Amino acid sequence: PEQAAAAVAEIKAAGAPDAKFFEGDLRDADKIASMMKAVAAWAPIDILVNNAGIQKTVTLAEADAKTWDAVIAINLSACFHTSRLALPAMAARGYGRVINIASVHGLVASVAKAPYVSAKFGLVGMTKVAALEYADAGSRETGGVTVNAICPGWVETPLIEPQIMAMARKVGGDRAAGVKALVAEKQPSGRTADPADIGAVELCASPSMHDPAWRRPTLSPELQWSDQGEGELGERMARAAKRWLDAGQPLLLIGTDCPELDCQMLQTAAQSLSNHDAAIAPTADGGYALLGLNRFDATVFDNIRWSTDTVARETLSRLETLGWTAHRLPSLHDIDEAADLKWIPEAWRDDIEQERPTPDQHPHADPRELAQ
């Protein structure tokens, strides 16, 4: 009760006109239904975040039915029940957002976590199904209905504290050694993320989010979507940057074609903006994979010779002309041509192969195009 009251108070303090706590046992389908009915009677559900989770570290041989049922009930079944009860009303209104907090364990496995990994893989799969089923709900005017899963890696919350300390004992070190050993296999940075590190993310999309192209991917846009709109690349980038910077928000502008750009680099770039006007991560082909800005000036984007080997050099020259300081990150490799596919991490390639669409999913497509 104290945690619930504190959360309600925090929400109101942040500016919400009202907030209310509704109790429900997420292990029980009937109690979930009662809770959702009470919430809907109080106010329409526009946004549903399925965030509850438990974990039990145990091998398959050691696991029992009670452990399996408890983890699956809260981490997967509860999300199914809340989603199936909320989505029809969202579709009827033409607007809704469902965000399922999955895990990196919905993408890759670890030993001694069969119930948890199974639940998270199931949640990612259910998210994809729901996204497809509600992709045509609503319109551009109403905002539509989207269903997405967020798959963070190791985030330092009370949920993983027992695992950190267990690993510390195993390696014979302190807590920091436990963190490093725990995340070494799955998180190249060698450290956990802090909940505060997971900030606002906007997907500035082309084509529009209502285009059928968005029915297949499962993305994590933190509710914020926008359309790139018309114009050449510099115009579209400038619009996106100006919108954030005019609101007083520092910006990291990135593409989606540089697998080497990891969380640690994003954090380094963000931190550099505390004492630089800009940050840039150049690419080996002369472009850049990231541009961080603390302020806006259209000349940073105007008349750049895009898709040439001078993009980063021209951009740095513009920043220098403006008298801005720039933090330069190490050069990276992006994926523009077939020859660049060698830069895709080996672990990703199996996932890409599994996700490749087949002719029956795109009956009008040339099979040779699907192979590409």
pLDDT value, residue 288: 96
Give how far Cα 173 sits from Cα of 154, 155, 167, 271, 355, Å: 19, 20, 9, 29, 41
Global pTM reads 0.52
The verdict on residue 165 lying in a domain is: no
Tokens 């009303």, residue? Answer: 89
pLDDT value, residue 360: 55
pLDDT digits (tens, 9 = 90+) for 312-347: 999 999 999 999 999 999 999 999 888 888 888 776
The verdict on residue 293 lying in a domain is: yes
Tokens 């790139």, residue? Answer: 228
Mean pLDDT taken over the chain: 84
The verdict on residue 359 lying in a domain is: no
SS3 127: helix
The verdict on residue 303 lying in a domain is: yes
Instruction: Specify the higher pLDDT residue, 199 or 76.
Output: 76
Residues 105, 120: Cα–Cα separation, whole Å: 6
Contact 269, 252 (CB under 8 A): yes
Count of CB atoms within 10 A of residue 239's CB?
Answer: 17
Please tell me whether residues 142 and 241 are part of one structural domain. no
Residues 261, 335: Cα–Cα separation, whole Å: 12
CATH value at residue 323: 3.90.550.10
Residues 269, 279: Cα–Cα separation, whole Å: 6
Contact 369, 358 (CB under 8 A): no
18-55: b or e for each residue (b if 16 or more CB lie within 10 Å)?
A: eeeeeebebbeeeebeebbeebeeeeebeebebeebbb
pLDDT value, residue 97: 94
Backbone angles phi, psi at 345, to 5 degrees: -55, 145
pLDDT digits (tens, 9 = 90+) for 15-28: 889 999 999 999 99
pLDDT value, residue 178: 81
Please tell me whether residues 4 and 148 are part of one structural domain. yes
Residues 79, 138: Cα–Cα separation, whole Å: 22
Of the candidates 254, 335, 336, the one whose C-alpha atom is nearest the C-alpha of residue 289 is: 254
Residue ending a domain, among 328, 350, 365, is 328
pLDDT digits (tens, 9 = 90+) for 46-63: 999 999 999 888 999 999
Residues 38, 32: Cα–Cα separation, whole Å: 10
pLDDT band for position 367 (cuts 50, 70, 90)? very low
pLDDT value, residue 233: 92
Active site residues: 116
pLDDT digits (tens, 9 = 90+) for 94-113: 999 999 999 878 887 888 89
Of the candidates 96, 82, 102, 1, the one whose C-alpha atom is nearest the C-alpha of residue 37 is: 82
Taking residues 274-302, what's their average pLDDT? 94
Structural domain boundaries, residue 300: 231-328
Residue ending a domain, among 137, 152, 167, is 152
CATH value at residue 97: 3.40.50.720
Taking residues 349-356, what's their average pLDDT? 61
Domain count, the chain: 2
Residues of the chain with pLDDT > 70: what percent?
A: 82
Please tell me whether residues 1 and 144 are part of one structural domain. yes
pLDDT digits (tens, 9 = 90+) for 171-199: 888 888 887 887 775 555 565 655 555 45
Contact 113, 104 (CB under 8 A): no
Please tell me whether residues 146 and 239 are part of one structural domain. no
